[in-house]
Chain A
Amino acid sequence: MNAFGLAPLLLLFPAIGVLFNGLVGRRFVEADAKVGERWSGWIASLMAISSFVVAVLLFISLWTNGFQAMIAPIMDWISIPSANFSVPWAIRVDTLSVTMMLVVTGVGSLIHIYAIGYMHGDPNFSRFFAYFNLFIFFMLILVSGSTYLVLFVGWEGVGLCSFLLISFWFDRTNAAGKAMNADAGRKAFIVNRVGDLGMILAMFLMFWTFRSLEFGAVFSTAVEMFESHHIVEFGLFSAPIGTVITAITALFLLGATGKSAQFPLYVWLPDAMAGPTPVSALIHAATMVTSGIYLIVRSNVLFEIARASGPVIFGVISTPDLVAYVGAFTGLLAGLIAFTQFDIKKVLAYSTVSQLGFMIAAAGMGAYVAAMFHLVTHAFFKALLFLGSGSVIHGMEHGHHHLHELSHAEHGHADHHEDVFDPQDMRTMGGLRHKMPTTFWVYLVGALALAGIPPLAGFWSKDEILAHGNQHAIAVYVVLAIAAVCTAFYMGRQLHMTFFGEPRHAAAEHAQESPALMTTPLVVLAALAVVGGLLNLPYLTESMAEANHHHPGGLFLALEGWLEHSIRSFELTEEGVFALPHTPIVLSPLVAGISTLLALVALGGAFYVYRNKPETAVDPDPLQKIKPLWWFRILPLETFYMKFIVPPFKWLADWLAFAVDWNFWHDFVHNNLIRDMFVSFATFLADVFDKFGVDGTVNGIGSVTKSLAGVLRRTQTGFARTYALGVFLGAVALLAYFLWVLY
């Protein structure tokens, strides 16, 4: 089967959804809220599902065509023949991009359906779905582009959608009257600009070096240049190719730290939770934030060359190692911060930062398949957890609403007072497992998968990363293992605070299970979180690996076998290129045992610590006794940025605006220099040039003519005989002249 020709449809369907919901959806909803919402939501979902079907067809096409990467051209985007520069807009269908397409559209479709239930009753229902489809559109451009520039278009597009969706409720203010949601959107956008700068610089450098931005061309040229010890000329100076590629990859890392919320740019992601929960699930857990990992995995050739070039730029570390350390450090830091959060979604947000750290670390260690594996399983269970938390919030709001109606019935309207109630605060929850049984069970599955309890999906993918670290980078392994313990602990804490114990607020007592429209996607995701590990099951014993010659086969290492067609498996050294010996991925009983044991202990520990605490909604958290832990709550970069980065930046901006732009540019340059020069020049023209030059010339001609005429008028005597004499003399003169000329 060959369905490569259908590839453009992948982008067309969400685009149709955007147009429908953006242009006419609102009228549908306004005309009839119930029917309109159904149309708006289901058309958007249908478009996402259609894209998913196309992605599946592409998957089958790849499978039946020997996994060969296919380029489906759409149009010639930029073409400058004189500069030998062309950027086609084409869809690259290979195993890596199809994996991303399936995750984006598959998980995306489920979240679309969930959102129909979640956004029910929102006045801007169709705007939400227009943005949601727009996000799917841009995310698919990102993962399907065949050049870095098209990838960057998607990269910026999803950033835009992230901004639009975080500040979706832009008119909501907090108790202090600040527009927190709009601020959070702006913050995400601005922080991401820093990372995007890295992307742009990396592309400039890449184009200068390779004269192309197309994946295939860049990678093959890079390998050739590395083998021939190419020196890149920069006009004033030159640098060996290894150094240049190290710089490119370092700039990619900057881009990835922005988009994938890594240290030191992770600060936007927790704030991004201000958006509607389906947004957090789709954009800030499952798809957009993984584009940094996709970028690194896609550029694996460059990162491997940077690894082979050694520590050339930083002097101490090569880029992939830096990537691994940044990822591991972020994983641990975010895991620790998650301990101190009370907001159910913020815990998940920091957890996402932490898990993205795992993926980044894996990619940095060269375990690209493990990174992608964790990306996929994480998409399943983190989307599940976010949607579950959305269901909990929905239930709590419902309970709170119900409570209000009760108090209205009992006390009348007079003594009604608006209490400040936060439906996302875990301290007000408790005991929800009886009220929301479906949500509880799927949440439990998601939490255990995230904590790494076998045989759920998270265990296999996390274990693959840890096992790789254990073999190749022991420091990264230790940090990530501690981060994994943190994961299990904060998920245990969250589970207990939310679902176990007794309700700590009347709203929790009246919480209700969410409608089937919301719980059905949860159940599907829970099923995926259970069986997701099958995607890339390692060989359980050494002998099983031997039987398959250490190659993917049968039930095992399906993802590895699938992705090896996109991720080159070779090793580069200063001497040249070697085929990479296939690392036998065999389950390491030691690593798996340690992490399982630690996860269980941490989960149990969390349940023990929180066995009956906090008793009421205002009780302090038992962890608050451990002071240093709480420093993380206040210590994080946030404060650092606000203290040391933002004020100088603002000062600089003020200085630029007032001193440079207003005082210098406007007042001095414009008023003093340009205006005054203009005025004095104009004065010169008016008073000197015009008066003496132009007027003088004209008047001079007049007066000279006049005085000349005064002299000549005397010749006009009026006596005919004088004139006759003149004629006579003239005739004589002419005759004399002719005689003189002729003889």
Chain B
Amino acid sequence: MPEVTIDWYIALSVILFTIGSLGVLLRRNAIIVFMSVEMMLNSANLAFVAFARYLGDLDGQVLVFFVITVAAAEVAVGLALIVAIFRTKKSINIDDMNLLKG
């Protein structure tokens, strides 16, 4: 069984980040987009802890706690917004939210 090295962690982080990015760019459902953003954040968290362990430095792990905290707050605000939008528009398709255009 091959040893799980830092490369594996980084590769997984990159894959997760790519999936998240594509989800943000391609999907129209606001909830899915939101989940994709969370996936990007967590891919970043994975990279942080991987590097922290690899370097034997706790800074990265500490930072991850902050990220999770901010992400939790963001989720609270973001979901509230989506609920508010849905109440007025009866839709959470983000392409319908195009009032601010030039």
Interfacial residues, chain A to chain B (CB-CB below 8 A): 712-721, 724-725, 728
**Do A712 and B102 touch (CB < 8 A)?**
yes
- How far, in Å, is A725 (CB) from chain B's closest CB? 6
Set of chain B residues within 8 Å of A714, measured between Cβ atoms: 102
**Do A719 and B102 touch (CB < 8 A)?**
no
Q: Which of A716, A720, A728 has the most CB of B within 10 A?
A: A720
Is B26 in contact with chain A by the CB < 8 A criterion? yes
CA separation between A599 and B101, bound complex, in Å? 128
Set of chain A residues within 8 Å of B28, measured between Cβ atoms: 721
Contact of A719 with B25 at beta-carbon distance under 8 Å, contacts A712-B102, A713-B102, A714-B102 already known: no
Contact of A718 among B21, B25, B26, B99 (CB under 8 A): B99
Secondary structure class of chain A's binding surface, majority of residues: helix
- 1/0 per residue, CB under 8 A from A, across B60-72: the answer is 0000000000000
Q: Taking CB as reference atom, which chain B residue is nearest A709? A: B102
Q: Taking CB as reference atom, which chain B residue is nearest A715? A: B102
CA separation between A427 and B67, bound complex, in Å? 136
**Do A728 and B100 touch (CB < 8 A)?**
no
**Do B102 and A728 touch (CB < 8 A)?**
no
Is B94 in contact with chain A by the CB < 8 A criterion? yes
Set of chain A residues within 8 Å of B100, measured between Cβ atoms: 716, 718
Q: Taking CB as reference atom, which chain B residue is nearest A725? A: B25
Q: Total interface residues on B, using CB and 8 Å?
A: 13
A-B contact list, 27 entries, CB within 8 Å: A712-B102, A713-B102, A714-B102, A715-B102, A716-B101, A716-B102, A717-B101, A717-B102, A718-B97, A718-B99, A718-B100, A718-B101, A719-B94, A719-B95, A719-B98, A719-B101, A720-B95, A720-B97, A721-B25, A721-B26, A721-B28, A721-B94, A724-B24, A724-B25, A725-B25, A728-B21, A728-B25
**Do A718 and B98 touch (CB < 8 A)?**
yes
CA separation between A720 and B102, bound complex, in Å? 13
CA separation between A715 and B101, bound complex, in Å? 8
Set of chain B residues within 8 Å of A717, measured between Cβ atoms: 98, 101-102
- How far, in Å, is B21 (CB) from chain A's closest CB? 6
- How far, in Å, is A373 (CB) from chain B's closest CB? 114
Set of chain A residues within 8 Å of B102, measured between Cβ atoms: 712-718
Q: Which of A713, A715, A721, A725 has the most CB of B within 10 A?
A: A721
CA separation between A712 and B102, bound complex, in Å? 8
- How far, in Å, is A736 (CB) from chain B's closest CB? 15
CA separation between A721 and B32, bound complex, in Å? 13
- How far, in Å, is B77 (CB) from chain A's closest CB? 16
CA separation between A720 and B99, bound complex, in Å? 11
Q: A716-B102, A728-B24 are in contact. List 5 more A-B contacts (CB 8 A).
A: A716-B101, A721-B28, A721-B94, A721-B95, A728-B25
- How far, in Å, is A428 (CB) from chain B's closest CB? 116
CA separation between A728 and B23, bound complex, in Å? 12
Set of chain A residues within 8 Å of B97, measured between Cβ atoms: 718, 720
CA separation between A299 and B87, bound complex, in Å? 118
CA separation between A343 and B98, bound complex, in Å? 119
Q: Taking CB as reference atom, which chain B residue is nearest A731? A: B21
CA separation between A725 and B101, bound complex, in Å? 16
